[in-house]
Structure 1
Amino acid sequence: MARRRCGGRPLVRSPHTTHGSAMTTRRTLTISITAEQDALVRACLHSGRYASASEVVRAALRLLSREEADAVSPLRSEANTEPKAGPRA
């Protein structure tokens, strides 16, 4: 297990670590991001709105989830309004 310091706090990384209660189980995940994405994460942290990079990523994933749901919703509505083929004569 590697230990590094992040923002003055020790950071422990393990691929099998889970956090939280039974309702919100969290898993540690190591990801690679571009320099631009790193700058965005750091700017979010510097703004004080987020306390950790994990919070920034979770917020981004919530937005992605909403965006995906919004993109799929019209397709589902369209599929439900198409006339169904009746029996052929």
Structure 2
Amino acid sequence: MTQWKNFSDERPPLDVQLRLEVKEKDRNTDTPEPYFGKPLFKGYAVFDGRYFYPFGLMHPLPIFWNGRLDAFGREDVTARYAPWEDEE
């Protein structure tokens, strides 16, 4: 079973293959139907200490920690990661 960790709570390990999910924060809209944030990125990436690099690409994702989580130019996001585990 995958053990997810929040990016803002704990720094990801360096140069390790990770599952990465970034989405808008869930919001309470004071209605019977809550608003669940839309996914912005779901995939696999490697963290180099500042940026996440998706597998097969040389350019980093616009997701980084600079005192706060900044992803795709937005502050209303959450990110979580888990080590890539081969399920063979």
TM-score (norm 2): 0.25
Larger helix fraction of residues:
1
Larger strand fraction of residues:
2
**Highest RCO, 1 vs 2 (Cα 8 Å, sep ≥ 6):** 2
* Larger gyration radius, structure 1 or structure 2: 1
